[in-house]
Amino acid sequence: MESGGNSLLSGADGSKRKVCYFYDPEVGNYYYGQGHPMKPHRMRMTHALLTHYGLLQNMHVLKPNPAREKDLCRFHADDYVSFLRRITPETQQDQLRQLKRFNVGEDCPVFDGLYSFCQTYAGGSIGGAVKLNHGHCDIAINWAGGLHHAKKCEASGFCYVNDIVLAILELLKTHERVLYVDIDIHHGDGVEEAFYVTDRVMTVSFHKFGDYFPGTGDIRDLGYGKGKYYALNVPLDDGIDDESYQSLFKPVMSKVMEVFRPGAVVLQCGADSLSGDRLGCFNLSVKGHAECVRFMRSFDVPLLLLGGGGYTIRNVARCWCYETGVALGIEVDDKVPQHEYIEYFGPDYTLHVSPSNMENKNSRELLEVIRAELLRNLSKLQHAPSVQFHDRPPDTQLPEVDEDEEDKDERKYHDSDVNVDCERNSSPSRVKMEFVEPATNNKKDEEAVDELAMKIESTLEPTTSKGSMAAAEEDGPRCVEPEKEKDPSAEINPQPPLDEPTEMDHH
């Protein structure tokens, strides 16, 4: 496969990048339950490959600080987060209404350590954003993150908290515009929804479309209000191969980079788009999948690489190991080194596996039509919007800020601001549904949508106005559902300040 490169920069591809890699040695121990396809063990397998290929020495290895309740509440509703914090396999039978309300129980089961699992994977993505914001690295990696389906007050598609939305909110403290790219086989619905009406975040999702989870991601869904044309959906069919995929990915992403000019890029590298995935139906090779990483890296913009789906776990580990090599500019050997999980990689013990001979249902003609429509939509995006940064919000996870009394007040102030983010970011979910469904798209809805769009718009302004703070006090983040069970035990524990992520021993 051609290594590509892009029209904006040349020669950047070969140069080295400083990489921060987030990994918690506990993450592989979380277990969704017997028969559940989502297996956090795949992150441990990936880490073992990185270790034995000798890649850890080439990057900064960090153990993520667990995201705190207030970090999660920057996007998620307070009552949803508090539910996640309290629910256990033992107590879930007494919480049937709450389970149903938050969509927890089936695809998204309650398991031991659920909340700390969420804190860990979200902590890695937010930590990666902080590192990028500080310029401590060019690329940050968190393979445990990328859980793109989670909603403001609802779990969905094996995802509980949306670490991607949280990381993007962190990046927006420093960057005027953030680009989100999603190559998981499933539509990146949770992230799209969160930023549907803003032009500061552009979302681009490549996914299987048509009778497939989660059902959203039509090419005609483009964003709304100020966010119109800042959401892009690339609907694909079964059996897409490397060449077909790149025939869309490269021209579309080149154009996006040219017109949107993001300050940072978040790439969700869901590996269920690989050939032979237990839940997927695409036919990409590891190299074809990694070509997306290589291509986005070539623009030399701060890059956050996240995991996502991926259910044939030996291939997930292959893919994310190879992509870590791509991030570092190191071509890893095809021969899998001897290590504790070597038996997963038999009978050939190679990193690369051949795609299958399945039919590619994406005809050249269809791909051409899709490409033309996407480029037409992109041509309507006139220029990159800019924001004035009068007063940059403080970073998450900087304990030294607490030592200064003045800064402490400032942080409190910004926390209220941040809650506004949460409230306003939540709205597009309903907005979008109303807008997409022609049946409910009446005048009244449009007015409501306009109002919400304005609210979200002012939320993302980095400068806080008195008005928006007042709004935050009035409508704190909480779920739409009216039924509220008062739980006297639900008081929030005081959270100790987070430390800088701990540097890990390489072995």
Active site residues: 149
31 appears as a binding residue in the annotation: no
Site residues for Zn ion, 336-375, by CB under 5 A, read none
Distance CA 424, CA 422 (A): 6
Of the listed pieces 31-39, 265-273, 390-398, 462-470, which binds Zn ion according to CB under 5 A? 265-273
DSSP H or E run through 460: helix 443-460
| 40 or 302: CB nearest Zn ion | 40
Classify 450 as helix, strand or coil.
Answer: helix
Which is closer to Zn ion, CB of 23 or CB of 212? 212
- Contact flag: residue 186 with Zn ion (CB under 5 A): yes
- Nearest approach, Cβ of residue 310 and Zn ion (Å): 7
Residue 184 touches Zn ion, criterion: CB under 5 A: yes
Q: Describe the chain by its helix, strand, coil percentages, rounded to 5.
A: 40, 10, 50
Q: Known binder of ligand: residue 333?
A: no
Strands 139-142 and 303-306: parallel
User: Whole-number minimum distance, CB 273 to Zn ion, in Å?
Assistant: 8
Element holding 2 (H helix, E strand): none
DSSP 116: H
Is position 339 annotated in a ligand binding site? no
Q: State the minimum distance, in angstroms, from the CB of residue 185 to Zn ion.
A: 5
Question: In the complex, what is the shortest distance from the CB of residue 323 to Zn ion, in angstroms, rounded to a whole number?
Answer: 16
Say how far apart CA 23 and CA 121 lie, in whole Å: 9
For residues 77 and 236, which CB has a smaller minimum distance to Zn ion in the complex?
236
Closest to Zn ion by CB, 20 vs 165, is: 165
Asked if 264 and 132 touch (Cβ cutoff 8 Å), the reply is: yes
Considering only 4-12, 100-108, 181-189, 494-502, which stretch makes contact with Zn ion by CB under 5 A?
Answer: 181-189
Do residues 265 and 296 lie in contact, with contact meaning Cβ atoms separated by under 8 Å?
Answer: yes
Q: Which of 66, 188, 270, 477 binds Zn ion (CB under 5 A)?
A: 270
Q: How far is the CB of 234 from Zn ion (least distance, A)?
A: 15
- Applying CB under 5 A, the site for Zn ion has a residue count of 5
**Residue of 474, 493, 489, 480 lying closest to 80 (CA atoms):** 480
Which of these segments, 269-277, 318-326, 358-366, 453-461, binds Zn ion (CB under 5 A)?
269-277
Q: Alpha-carbon distance 191 to 364, whole Å?
A: 29
Min CB(153)–Zn ion separation in Å: 21
Cα–Cα–Cα angle for 475, 477, 483, nearest 5°? 90
Residue 71 or 189 with smaller CB distance to Zn ion:
189
Whole-angstrom distance, CA of residue 385 vs CA of residue 177:
8
| Residue 186 in marked binding region | yes
Residues in the chain: 507
Q: Confirm or reject binding of residue 323 to Zn ion (CB under 5 A).
A: no
Known binding residue 21? Answer is: no
Q: Is 184 annotated for ligand binding? A: yes
> Does the footprint of Zn ion cover residue 272 (CB under 5 A)?
yes
In this chain, which residue has its C-beta nearest to Zn ion?
A: 309
Q: Which residues pair with 142 in a beta bridge?
A: 306
User: Using an 8 Å Cβ cutoff, are 178 and 171 in contact?
Assistant: yes
The residue (of 218 and 481) whose beta carbon lies closer to Zn ion is 218
Question: Residue 272 Cβ, how far from Zn ion at the closest point, in Å?
Answer: 4
Q: Tell me how far the alpha carbon of residue 6 is from its chain's centroid.
A: 24
Q: What are the residues facing 61 on neighbouring strands?
A: 21
Q: Does 188 bind Zn ion (CB under 5 A)?
A: no
- The residue range among 171-179, 182-190, 202-210, 379-387 that interacts with Zn ion, by the rule CB under 5 A, is 182-190
268 vs 179, 388, 460, CA distance in Å?
11, 28, 22
Tell which positions 13-42 bind Zn ion, by CB under 5 A.
none
Contact 292, 282 (CB under 8 A): no
Whether the CB-CB separation of 257 and 6 falls below 8 Å is answered with yes
Please say which residue, 270 or 477, places its beta carbon nearer to Zn ion: 270
Binding-site residue positions for a divalent metal cation = 184, 186, 272
Binding-site residue positions = 107, 157, 184, 186, 272, 311
> What is the binding site for Zn ion (CB under 5 A)?
184, 186, 270, 272, 309
